[in-house]
Amino acid sequence: MNYIQQAYKGENEPWKIVLTLILVSGLFVGNIIYFMFFGDGIDVIEEQKKLLEMIPSKNFWLAINLLPFVILLGLLFLLVKSLHKRSLLSLTTARPKVDWSRVAFSFLLIVITALVLFGISYYSDPSLVELQFNPLKFTILLIISLLMFPLQIGLEEYLFRGYLMQQVGILVKNKWFPLILTSVLFGLLHGANPEVAEIGSIIMVYYIGTGLLLGIMTLMDDGLELALGFHFGNNLLAATLVTAKWSALQTDAAFVYTAEEASTQISEIVLPVLIIYPILLFILAKKYKWTNWKDKLFGKVKAPPKENYKIIE
């Protein structure tokens, strides 16, 4: 059974799917709808500054922002286990057990790539960023990031590339539609971020492109392991390496962008999607010997024989 077919191991009555999506993603959907219809008069960055002035520290603000993800991930796992009668393994991978080496490799791949790109950018023009390293604040930030970001990215991966991709896949009986749908929805999820207000809609290319990359990883590798490692490495560095006044993650990172506006960083939005991401996919494809791309990404989803529905614990 491939990754999407893992959904057949559980109970998939429509009301259970709708209830799960409402309970787990209702907060995000409501937030998106609010900003779509009522967000024109709201200065997201200014509102964020006001909130930061009211709280003890940026690290506290980060922890508070990540807490809902922790709660919702636990809720998703509970609903999958109790409502859908499925194992969490079937939501994670088509393999007999989770391959943590894949998580580690993908994590290291994006971390090394990002650090190299940052080093090149810093060497080319050091004036773009300014060192603001504070040992105590950075240590607290690192601890919070290591504890909570795995749960934050876990919710996004298990909800989009996991639950939603699997459920939509067995509904429409193909793989390309859930891949595109979850990528677009993943991008829209980030539509209320301050970066969108500052940079403009061009940043949606990065968000949707990243969702597409993670979706391709999941389908080609028949599991979430690579997507989990990549997403964690990406968010960890986004919080600890460089921050900006217009960033969604206001943290005590080691560096801060000196530019008051984000327009100078547009090249950094398009470059990863068009050049870096294909290179990373090529590396992963070679390492894990991916083949049959057409069927993996565009093939049909068929119900497996009943004897294969048994959950592997």
Tell me the pTM. Answer: 0.90
Taking the alpha carbons at both ends of the chain, their separation in whole angstroms is 15
Q: What's the pLDDT tens digit per position in 214-252?
A: 999 999 999 999 999 999 999 999 999 998 876 767 789
Q: What is the mean pLDDT of the chain?
A: 87
| Of the candidate ranges 178-182, 201-205, 245-249, the one whose mean pLDDT is the lowest | 245-249
The residue type found at 152 is Q
3-state secondary structure of 62: helix
Measured CA to CA, the distance from residue 249 to residue 201 in angstroms comes to: 18
Measured CA to CA, the distance from residue 109 to residue 107 in angstroms comes to: 5
| Of the candidate ranges 90-94, 162-166, 191-195, the one whose mean pLDDT is the lowest | 191-195
Task: Please name the residue ranges forming H helices in 125-163.
Answer: 135-156
pLDDT cut 70: percent of the chain above it: 82
